[in-house]
């Protein structure tokens, strides 16, 4: 079967790009990266792409007078490379509605929270502030409203009492590197449909058990006296 041609759009480090490179390097991978595109000339992810022998393009957003012109340049590169699916991987530019609609159900994003919780920036600090016991990441189809769209895969990650935003980000990032390749494989294998604003995934099962956080302490452990009121 022909491999799905994907472009990975980045702005920085590119660790999710690396996870997708790994996923696409398997002999039986259902997708291939035909283009890595960055809006930042200094993005470290560009080196990762070059090391993997992938075609790269830099489209510096500062050189464009408006978003529409920038998006038109992106679109041109994507079409030239005959891209079938766009994977946003830490791509930190807002895209115009026209671009998003043009690539409707052919553009996915990874976001470091369990959407619809914590859209936008500083997700880990906000999760800690809210005191949630789980956070995680979401791979979703892109819609015009930021960080919305039909959810394909989520990974839940526990929050630990001693976490700060950096330690939590590192734990979530590990989950991102599992979730993004899984979402890509499901799409490339033709197993993901979008119906009424939600995805339907064929031949997949959900875990059957709840995950609790915190886990129970031994019965003889001394309770925290400050919790007795
Ligand atoms: C990832 O944590 C990704 O979820 C996040 O940026 C990071 C990019 O890391 N994306 C967003 O916040 C988008 N709203 P990476 O460059 O190492 O893949």
Q: How far, in Å, is the centroid of ligand 1 from the Cα of 112? A: 7
The contacts of residue 88 (CB under 8 Å, 6+ apart) are: 9, 107, 108, 109, 110, 142
Is 140 an active-site residue? Answer: no
Instruction: For residue 124, give both structure tokens.
Output: 């880990």
pLDDT (tens digit, 0 to 9) for every residue of the chain, 229 residues total? 799 999 999 999 999 999 999 999 999 999 999 999 999 999 999 999 999 999 999 999 999 999 999 999 999 999 999 999 999 999 999 999 999 999 999 999 999 999 999 999 999 999 999 999 999 999 999 999 999 999 999 999 999 999 999 999 999 999 999 999 999 999 999 999 999 999 999 999 999 999 999 998 777 766 666 666 6
Instruction: Go through the chain and tell me how many residues it has.
Output: 229
Which region holds residue 149: left if phi is over 0, alpha if psi is between -120 and 50, else beta? Answer: left
Q: For 119-166, write each residue's pLDDT tens digit.
A: 999 999 999 999 999 999 999 999 999 999 999 999 999 999 999 999
Which of 68, 104, 70, 110 shows the shortest CA–CA distance to 87? 110
Which of 155, 157, 201, 156 shows the shortest CA–CA distance to 181? 155
Q: How far, in Å, is the centroid of ligand 1 from the Cα of 218? A: 38
Residue with token string 């979402």: 183
- Give 4's DSSP letter: E
Active-site choice (61, 77, 111, 124): 111
Domains of the chain in sequence order: 1-103 (3.40.50.170), 111-203 (3.40.50.170)
Which of 49, 70, 61 shows the shortest CA–CA distance to 6? 49
- Residue nearest (by alpha carbon) to ligand 1 atom 12: 111
Buried b (16+ CB within 10 A) or exposed e, 139-151: bbbbbeeebbbbb
């Amino acid at each position: 079967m022909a491999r799905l041609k994907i472009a990975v759009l980045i702005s920085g480090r590119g660790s999710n790009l690396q996870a997708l490179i790994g996923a696409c390097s398997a002999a039986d991978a259902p997708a291939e990266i035909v283009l890595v595109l960055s809006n930042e000339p200094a993005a470290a992810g560009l080196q990762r792409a070059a090391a993997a022998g992938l075609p790269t393009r830099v489209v510096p957003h500062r050189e464009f007078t408006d978003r529409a012109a920038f998006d038109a340049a992106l679109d041109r590169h994507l079409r030239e490379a005959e891209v079938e699916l766009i994977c946003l991987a830490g791509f930190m530019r807002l895209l115009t509605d026209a671009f998003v609609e043009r690539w409707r159900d052919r553009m996915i994003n990874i976001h470091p929270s369990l959407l619809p919780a914590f859209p936008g920036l500083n997700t880990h600090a906000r999760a800690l502030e809210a005191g949630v016991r789980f956070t995680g990441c979401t791979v979703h189809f892109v819609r015009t409203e930021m960080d919305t769209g039909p959810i394909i895969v989520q990974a839940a990650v526990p929050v630990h009492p001693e976490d700060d935003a950096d330690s939590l980000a590192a734990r979530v990032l590990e989950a991102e590197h599992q979730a993004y390749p899984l979402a890509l494989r499901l799409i490339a294998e033709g197993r993901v449909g979008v119906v009424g604003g939600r995805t339907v995934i064929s031949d997949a099962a959900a875990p059957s058990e709840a995950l609790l956080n915190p886990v129970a302490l031994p019965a003889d452990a001394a309770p925290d006296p400050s919790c007795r009121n």
